[in-house]
């Protein structure tokens, strides 16, 4: 039941009104950003409203409840925000490609670049995705959001096979694997910010390319 009634009120009018007002949007963004940092730092379970409010410099957690319908709503918004920024980086790089392999490599590179410039974003995303997989409380819509990469990747792999660029493998499984490798880099970087990201990027590229290599390439 949806009650007292910050601007988070309804799904329909939120779009219209909420985003409209400047202060409101700014506050929301401020909270979302603080949430992203906090999740990246302490994990999803550790990111309590109190901790988020703390980081955002808010006087009370009430302000979060005011701007978001609940923790799930905040999480969904966090995911939306991350995905949007992520797409800004990834999409242009990917769109510029004509071959499946080019697209695949562009995707990997874009991930690394996004990780480098927006570390907490990608760390948060991975962390949320993980928690969401066990705790089933995320809305179907946002669950889809989490899985968007996966579906797209699988399709890309399938196309590469059809065009003869890629070799033999199970596209559904390999998509899972490729994402898990991406996540491994994110994890490692989350744990040690002084990580040699370039080395990981190189190995990631090499590994994925070997995994997808066609007969000709080998």
Partner DNA sequence: TATGAATGAGCCTTCATTCAT
Partner DNA sequence: AATGAATGAAGGCTCATTCAT
The site for a copy of itself (CB under 8 A) is made up of: 2-5, 7, 9, 13, 17, 42-46, 48-51, 53-54, 59-61, 127, 130-131, 133-135, 169-170, 173-174, 176-177, 179-181, 183-184, 187-188, 190-191, 199-200, 202-204, 206-207, 210-211, 213, 218
| 58 vs 60: CA distance, rounded Å | 6
Q: Does 71 bind DNA (CB under 7 A)?
A: yes
**Cβ–Cβ < 8 Å for 128, 78:** yes
Taking the complex as a whole, how short is the minimal distance between the CB of residue 10 and DNA, in angstroms? 12
Q: Which stretch binds DNA (CB under 7 A): 60-68, 107-115, 178-186, 194-202?
A: 60-68
Is 139 among the residues that bind DNA (CB under 7 A)? no
Q: Residues touching DNA: how many (CB under 7 A)?
A: 30
- Asked if residues 46 and 106 have their Cβ atoms less than 8 Å apart, the reply is no
Q: Are 88 and 154 in contact (CB under 8 A)?
A: no
Distance CA 159, CA 153 (A): 10
> Is residue 22 packed enough to be buried (19+ CB in 10 Å), middle (13-18) or exposed (0-12)?
exposed
Q: How far is CA 68 from CA 3, 10, 16, 196, in A?
A: 11, 11, 16, 38
Nearest to 186 by CA among 157, 149, 152: 149
User: Does 67 participate in binding DNA (rule CB under 7 A)?
Assistant: yes
43 binds, among a copy of itself, DNA, none (CB under 5 to 8 A by kind): a copy of itself
Question: For DNA, which residue of 21, 117, 180, 217 counts as binding (CB under 7 A)?
Answer: 21
Binds DNA by CB under 7 A, chosen from 60, 117, 133, 180: 60
**Smallest distance, DNA to C-beta of residue 56, A:** 10
Q: Which of 122, 102, 96 is nearest to 111 (CA)?
A: 122
Stretch that binds DNA, among 70-78, 88-96, 179-187, 204-212 (CB under 7 A): 70-78
Q: Return the CA Rg of the chain.
A: 19
Q: Which does 88 bind (CB under 5 to 8 A by kind): a copy of itself, DNA, none?
A: none
Stretch that binds DNA, among 66-74, 102-110, 123-131, 173-181 (CB under 7 A): 66-74
Give the residue among 100, 97, 103 at the shortest CA–CA distance from 166. 100
């Amino acid at each position: 039941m949806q009650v007292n009634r910050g601007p988070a009120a309804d799904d329909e009018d939120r779009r219209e009104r909420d985003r409209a007002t400047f202060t409101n949007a700014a506050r929301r963004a401020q909270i979302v950003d603080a949430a992203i940092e906090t999740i990246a730092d302490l994990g999803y379970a550790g990111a309590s409203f109190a901790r988020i409010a703390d980081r955002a410099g808010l006087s009370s957690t009430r302000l979060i409840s005011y701007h978001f319908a609940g923790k799930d709503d905040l999480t969904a918004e966090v995911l939306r925000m991350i995905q949007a920024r992520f797409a800004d980086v990834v999409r242009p790089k990917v769109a510029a490609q004509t071959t499946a392999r080019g697209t695949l490599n562009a995707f990997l590179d874009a991930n690394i670049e996004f990780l480098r410039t927006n570390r907490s974003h990608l760390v948060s995303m991975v962390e949320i995705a993980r928690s969401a997989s066990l705790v089933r409380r995320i809305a179907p819509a946002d669950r889809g959001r989490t899985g968007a990469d996966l579906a797209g990747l699988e399709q890309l792999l399938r196309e590469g096979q059809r065009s003869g660029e890629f070799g033999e493998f199970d596209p559904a499984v390999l998509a899972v694997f490729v994402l898990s490798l991406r996540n491994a880099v994110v994890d490692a970087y989350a744990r040690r910010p002084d990580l040699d990201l370039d080395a990981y990027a190189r190995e990631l590229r090499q590994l994925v390319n070997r995994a997808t290599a066609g007969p000709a390439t080998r």
